[in-house]
Structure 1
Amino acid sequence: MTTPTDDAHLSVQHTSGPLAVAVVTGAMERHTASAVRSTALDVINQGQPHLILDLTGVTFCDSSGLSALIGIWHGANDADGSLALAAVPARLMRILTLTGVDTLMPIHATPADALAAHRATRRTGGGEKALPRTL
């Protein structure tokens, strides 16, 4: 069970043109995940369709949190952008792997690694492939 101090928050730490790096903290569960998704989609819709989420501070994630991440991924793809995850806690990484969500979006050890990969992908003209909206 989570406490009010575990509320999940998303705060943008850095923007550069169409890219934003945001930090998610707290518990992503049924009471908080929709706010994280909404905030991330606002960032995407305000001109940063390429989003890197630093998940270092995520203390808990249930199916609602997982659904929020998938919704953010869809929003980024719909805006011709991308979603990458960085510093994913071990418990959340297990969930991403078990559900196959780790195959949808790049996962990096650190936000710096995610930034470097994003820059390299943009330089070479590559990008993540959008999969059908069947999830």
Structure 2
Amino acid sequence: MRAPGRRRGSRARRPDDHHRSQQRLSVITVSGEIYHHTGGPLREALSPPDGEAVPQIVVDLSGVTFMDSSGINILIAAYTAARDAGGWLRLAGPT
């Protein structure tokens, strides 16, 4: 029997789930074409300054119409940097 108000399959949250002062969620929305000559702003947006909180990044790609290997490399580098800092990077809306 499940507790009142809980949906089937939902996970009970610990009190500290929403109070992690060393973590920060960023949602970055990207649109248009991402390739060698246009990837700079994306690279900058995905590179938090030194000393920032542990990165938790969601990259919304639903508005991207084209991405070449340069854009994919930017995402891989950002994923690796976030993981190495103890955080994560997730992609939303890839097509």
Please give the TM-score of this superposition, normalised by the length of structure 2.
Answer: 0.67
Paired residues of 2:54 and 2:86 also in contact (CA < 8 A): no
After TM superposition, give the deviation of residue 48 of structure 1 in Å. 5.3
Which residue of structure 2 lines up, in the alignment, with residue 62 of structure 1? Answer: 68
**Which ranges of 4 or more aligned residues in structure 1 deviate by more than 4 Å?**
none
Query: Which residue, out of 24, 28, 43, partners 1:22?
Result: 28
Q: Please say which structure displays the higher CA radius of gyration.
A: 2
RMSD: 2.2
Mapped partners of 1:81, 1:56: distance in 2: 23
After TM superposition, give the deviation of residue 33 of structure 1 in Å. 1.6
Paired residues of 1:43 and 1:49 also in contact (CA < 8 A): no
Which residue of structure 2 lines up, in the alignment, with residue 33 of structure 1? Answer: 39
Distance 1:55 1:67, change over 3 A: same
Which residue of structure 2 lines up, in the alignment, with residue 13 of structure 1? Answer: none
After TM superposition, give the deviation of residue 47 of structure 1 in Å. 2.5
* Aligned residue pairs, count: 74
Cα deviation code 1:15-60 (max 9, x no counterpart): xx52111111111100122321221112796325010111011111
Distance 1:85 1:30, change over 3 A: same
Distance 1:45 1:62, change over 3 A: farther
Distance 1:45 1:51, change over 3 A: farther
Paired residues of 1:55 and 1:87 also in contact (CA < 8 A): yes
Mapped partners of 2:92, 2:73: distance in 1: 17
Distance 1:63 1:81, change over 3 A: same
Please give the TM-score of this superposition, normalised by the length of structure 1.
Answer: 0.49
